[in-house]
Structure 1
Amino acid sequence: MLKFADLIDENVEEIAALDAIDGGKLYFFLKIVEIPGAVEYLRYCAGAADKIHGTTLKMSRELQAYTLREPIGVVGHIIPWNSPSHMFAMKVSPALAAGCTMVVKPAEQTPLSALYYAHLAKLAGLPDGVLNVVTGYGSTAGAAISSHMDIDKVSFTGSTEVGRLVMQAAALSNLKPVSLELGGKSPFIVFDDVDVDQIASLALQGTFLNKGEICIAGSRVFVQEGIYDKFLIKLVEKAKSWVVGDPFDPNVHQGPQVDKNHYERVLKFIEIGKKEGATLLAGGNLSNRKGYYIEPTIFTDVSDDMTIAKEEIFGPVMSVLKFKTVEEVIKRANATKYGLAAGIMTNDLNIANRVSRSIRAGVIWINCYFAFDNDLPFGGYKMSGFGREMGLESLNMYLQVKSVATPIYNSPWL
């Protein structure tokens, strides 16, 4: 695993180019942040591989007992197109450390880096058959993995709709366990005691990073009424300086949407927002570049029941909503079928503690956003899925617990 990590490091420019070409992601972000982060997590899990231990149990009867933690077996990983390198490492690393073999199905839109990773794994000395990459469409290759009787566990990241299909196929085959990281509609809550300029920049990143194609995007921005107007002015000012263009250009903030179908889907949501009465404050137009480019789009006068406030758009579209009290924003932030992440922006420790304990989401960020770490478990509540990736807890998803008991000599159990 450590040799595998070294080889990825040595080939980071080529891998970054593959992901940029495949998915429109920013080349320099891939090269400097995302792929090095994937390497770091691979090394983190490699360090845990020889530290998987069972427990010696103190029994209430005349028995000696302990537990073993054993590999779950063959794992099927189905990964999404929005962060192919990050998701590859997030799923493959703990499964390898746990001693599993696996079949990885990259998204049909972005298969190239996964194939390259398989090549590097072979060069690193992973035995044949341990890490297998199978390309194809979700309806065929993904469905085959989910329903295969010889696959012992499925890990899926993608939409809630497809997550249901994966669960159904797993249940109807060999009842294999499933872990799901699904959609999100995360609240980004701004209280009136913050530095407006600083938090407006963070809100922009929270929605528009990776052209909005990110499950934890804080696209429901709740702003307390005392700073609402001032905050909007700053948002628009900063959105106008957001550069959309060639993902290989180091001065660009946002590349093209992944493909034509998704591009048209995002544009459809923008039109729905207009028709339902939201005010288009910025963007909403096509970039004047050739390709699947959409300008950063900001809606105001958004009500909680509007489609753009309820559905995961997965594109550069932000809804700004006004609130008065802590009680109100907690209720409204939780009024969603999703529960993946949330951001709380305040200098009041009491508010930060109260709101973080009240929001039903798997990850809460206070005065920061996208604050990932190898030790920080990640996963969702409600229809955002279940199971935790990252952290040492991630290894537990790929391990079985076996209990072993023996009688003590001359015990009644003989």
Structure 2
Amino acid sequence: MAWTPERCNDKEASVSETSVVESVDKDLFIGGKWVPAAGGRTFGVEDPATGEVLCQVADATPQDGMAALDAAVAAQQEWAATAPRERSEILRRAYELLNARNEDLALLMTLEMGKPLAEARGEISYAAEFFRWFAEEAVRIDGGYQTAPNGAGRFLVTKQPVGPTLLITPWNFPMAMGGRKIGPAIAAGCTMVIKPAAQTPLSMLALAAILAEAGLPAGVLNVVTTSDAGGVMEPLIRDGRARKLSFTGSTAVGRKLLEQCADKVLRTSMELGGNAPFLVFDDADLDAAIEGAMQAKMRNIGEACTAANRFYVQRGIADEFARRLTERMEALPLGRGTEPGVVVGPLIDNAAVEKVKTLVQDAADRGANVLTGGATVDGPGHFYQATVLTGVPLDARMASEEIFGPVAPISVFDTEEEAVAAANDTEYGLVSYVYTNDLKRALRVSETLEAGMIGLNQGIVSNPAAPFGGVKQSGLGREGGAVGIDEFLEIKYIAVAL
């Protein structure tokens, strides 16, 4: 299958693409100023749909990273003393600016990451909601007053900012993951050094400019873009002045970061890998299950830690489920994310395509049947066909590894116990999906599944007002919801003698 980009057929679109990239400052954002990297170093940002380099951005050195931490440390005391209402209003203005500029920001994200424009627009709105949510949480940081059990004193409990924080965000949701970390940090009164993924730095640079426009003081948010993530961030972690690290990314990298954080006993939040099971029982609403399967699998072209990675379908409906899912997947338009109607955009890079290709081939070699797709796409960019597999054995690599692509592997089960056992047979525990119309089964299975989040008869769980996070090797802590701000606060107890 071949694909030819149509970008040159629409002069107006091309001009718009150029202008939206040019509108973003490509330098580092340190202490409220845009500054070049030491030595003028830069690296290229690629459009994954074409393989073309969109632009060059500053490539920070360890020296630049330390300058960013210096700025965050210098701003911490004054920022922590800022009135909660003032922090709230900055967040609210950022929310409004993000929504007002949704179209340009969505196009920028599609160009650097590849997701279709419709999904990019949705992500900008989703990111904005984190700023609105934490604008409301900023003025609700509470404490406590308690009489000592012996009556001789009082206990005062207060919450204070944890201090300067280090934030590391992934490429797959470059704006939303920034919002999910920056929002609560601002609300709590923490300064930040944030390192976006090298593949998608432009969205974060645009967000930094918006926050500055919203009134965020100099030094509160510092952005370092770099092609040397470990070389720049490890010295900051081991420095000791930063007091928290929040990371979203792979479990393998998360383990290394935890080891580094142990040196100075940094507080950590980790949202790591997933291997989400999608369970469909024979009493489920099949229409709803198919719709949920498409949402859980194809959001972000399958490049999401919450993506359904393993489909377990009860034998009585397995053939019908596979047939209908195949029809839906076959009908998805593939192409550059800027093209009208496209649903399947490119994967982030060639390594991602090769991984998906290898996992599909492994499953096929072990006896799985390819109902649709199962191949790369000729032409520019990093594309892989929407794919459905049946008869995927439990020892296939994709049963234990994140696919991170548009591939739906289906296995059959007979009993509830068998389904739950297969679902839990993984080191990960981020999210699980369950489709059933039996209330008792719904509650029983939801409570038994080893996951931090459950999608019960729905294929999307993410919501800024809900706690997001996993168990086992899918992470530590929670982002979003009423508990999200607590990750950036320390509890202080003051004993008072009367």
TM-score range, shorter chain: over 0.9
For the pair 1:123 / 2:209, whether they are aligned, the reply is no
- Preserved CA contact (<8 Å) 1:379 1:386: yes
When the two chains are superposed, the root-mean-square deviation of aligned CA atoms in Å is 1.3
- Match of 1:67, SS state, is strand
Partner SS for 1:50? helix
The reply on whether 1:60 has 2:149 as its aligned counterpart is yes
One-letter amino acid matched to 1:279: N
Distance between the aligned counterparts of 2:366 and 2:235, measured in 1? 40
AA at the equivalent of 1:191: F
Where does residue 384 of structure 2 map in the other structure? Answer: 294
287-296 or 375-384, which moves further after superposition?
287-296
- Alpha-carbon deviations, 1:78-132, whole Å to 9, x = none? 0000001110100110111001000111000000010111111111111100011
Q: Among residues 394, 414, 417, which one is paired with 1:327 in the alignment?
A: 417
1:150 to 241, 247, 252: 241
Give CA deviations for 1:374-403 in whole Å, capped at 9, x if unaligned: 221110010101100110101110000010
Q: Secondary structure, in 3 states, of the residue corresponding to 2:445?
A: helix
Structure 2: gaps spanning 5 or more residues: 1-90
CA distance in 2, matches of 1:164, 1:396: 23
Alignment pair present for 1:353 and 2:438: no
Tell me, yes or no, if structure 1 residue 197 matches structure 2 residue 287: yes
Alpha-carbon distance, 1:192 to partner: 0.6
SS in 1 for 2:455: strand
Report whether the alignment pairs 1:24 with 2:24: no
- Measure how far apart 1:288 and its partner are: 4.5
1:249-288 pair list within 5 angstroms: 249-288=339-378
Count how many residue pairs are aligned between Structure 1 and Structure 2.
406
The equivalent position to 1:139 in structure 2, one of 195, 217, 230, is 230
Matched, 1:162 2:225: no
Q: 1:26 to 1:148 in 2, by over 3 A?
A: farther
Residue type matched to 2:245 in 1?
A: V
Moved over 3 A (4+): none
In structure 1, what residue type is equivalent to 2:235? A
Q: Which residue of 2 aligns with 1:411?
A: none
Give the CA deviation at 1:199. 1.6
SS of the equivalent of 2:494 reads strand
Verify the 8 A CA contact 2:451 2:470 in the aligned structure 1. Answer: yes
Structure 1 length normalisation: TM-score?
0.95
Matches of 1:37 and 1:372 in 2, distance apart?
Answer: 9
2:186 corresponds in structure 1 to 96
Secondary structure of 1:383 counterpart:
helix
Q: Residues 173-195 of structure 1, C-alpha deviation per residue, up to 9 Å, x if partnerless?
A: x1101110000111100011123
Whether the 8 Å contact between 2:194 and 2:221 is mirrored in structure 1 is yes
SS in 1 for 2:139: coil
Letter in 1 for 2:289: I
Is the contact made by 2:391 and 2:411 (CA closer than 8 Å) also made in structure 1? yes
Question: Match of 1:77, SS?
Answer: strand
Deviations 1:14-59 (A, max 9, x none): 211111111101112222x211121122011011112111111221
Distance change in 2, residues 1:90/1:300 (3 Å): same
Structure 1 Cα separation of the partners of residues 286 and 135 of structure 2: 42
**Deviation by residue 1:325-357 (Cα, 9 ceiling, x = unmatched):** 111111111111110001110111011011001
Which residue of 471, 474, 478 corresponds with 1:388? 478
1:196 Cα deviation from its structure 2 partner: 2.4
Read off the aligned partner of 1:148 and give its amino acid letter: D
- 2:494 is matched with which residue? 404
Cα distance in structure 1, aligned partners of 2:347 and 2:195 = 21
Report the Cα distance in structure 2 between the residues aligned to 1:294 and 1:166, rounded to whole angstroms: 31
CA pair 315-146 structure 1, distance change in 2 beyond 3 A: farther
5+ long unaligned stretches in structure 1: 409-414
How many angstroms does 1:263 deviate by? 1.9
Residue 9 of structure 1 corresponds to 99
Q: For 1:287-320, what per-residue CA distance to the aligned partner results, in whole angstroms no more than 9, with x for missing partners?
A: 3453211011122111222111111121112210
1:402 maps to a residue whose letter is K
Tell me the SS of whatever aligns to 2:260: helix
1:314 matches 2:409: no
Gap change, CA 1:201 and 1:50, over 3 Å in 2: closer
CA offsets 1:234-265 (integer angstroms, 9 cap, x no match): 11111110111110123111110011222222
3-state DSSP class of the match of 1:120? helix
Instruction: Quote the Cα distance in structure 2 between the aligned partners of 1:83 and 1:382.
Output: 23
Q: CA separation of 1:54/1:182 partners in 2, compared to 1, >3 Å: closer, same or farther?
A: same
Moved more, 242-251 or 287-296: 287-296
Percent of pairs with identical residues = 38
User: Hey, what's the Cα distance between the residues in 2 that align with 1:177 and 1:49?
Assistant: 20
Name the counterpart of 1:113: 203
For the Cα contact (< 8 Å) 1:8–1:39, is it kept in 2?
A: yes
Q: Distance in 2 between matches of 1:263 and 1:147?
A: 35
Letter in 1 for 2:138: A
CA deviations over 1:192-242 (Å, ceiling 9, x no partner): 112323322321221122111000111211000011111111111111101
In the alignment, the residues of structure 2 paired with residue 26 and residue 58 of structure 1 have an alpha-carbon distance, to the nearest angstrom, of 57
Structure 2 counterpart of 1:72, from 155, 158, 162? 162
1:243 alignment counterpart = 333
Q: Does the alignment pair 1:81 with 2:192?
A: no
